[in-house]
A and B are shown apart, each in its own frame.
Chain A
Amino acid sequence: MSSTESLIKHLPNDIGGMPADRIEQIDHILLPWEKRCHALADVLDFHKIISTEEKRRGVEALGSDIIGKLTYYERWIVAFSVILFEKQLLQPEELALRMAEVEKRHQREPVL
């Protein structure tokens, strides 16, 4: 097999049958924002804005480096943002501005 052949035979998500470590039987209670992110995925699917399959492909398109380093719902929200840019439903600039605003809002709100 040539050195690049394995790269094109399997996209980053296509790991069925690959060698892998022992299964760690772990689980965690979702953080509130993770649950909101999951609900957002469902609502985007209901409105036919982003389907489950589009989301999966969107995550795959992030590439193996990002997929490997981000957590499950981090990958989702980044994929949603990219797909929304591609569909021109959101502009990168307005998302950046809103994120700065959200951050500022939290700095203003005192910790009680």
Chain B
Amino acid sequence: MKKNLELGGKWIGLIVISVLLTCAGCTSSPGPKIQVTGAWVRAVNTQQATSMPGMPGMTDATSAVYLTIQNTGSQADRLVSVTSAVAQSVEIHQSQVQNNVASMQKLDNLALPAKSTIQFQPGGYHLMLIGVKRNLNPGDKITVNLQFDKSAPILIEAEVRGP
């Protein structure tokens, strides 16, 4: 009887330890891990802005947000959409200059590979603010909401900088 209880106790102990180890594995499961830093936005004066042609109610003032996105996780993710209260629309864009010819491309989303850092900087990736609703003066702060395919949305603050 005593021997059966001891064996039973050992089995229960093994089962408990196995469950605990499995749960520990659950909390540190691999996945993307996104950090956004260094956000800033170009100053813009909307005083002379008019309606976007064919889109009454939307101003034709634009600006650009720059930042750094790091994915320190072991799984890739994607930046899929961006919004901001100061603009009617925000798009992901990439500028390119080849042989002194500048072009810009709208991206539907942006891949964030595992263990990668993507810099948004003048002349490259940027978030284009379209239909800016008010003056953005140097020193002001705006909020920008970034949404990802797998990760939770991230709300960031961007400082307005002059030219």
- Answer whether A and B are interacting partners: no
Residues of chain B touching chain A, judged by Cβ–Cβ distance below 8 Å, are: none
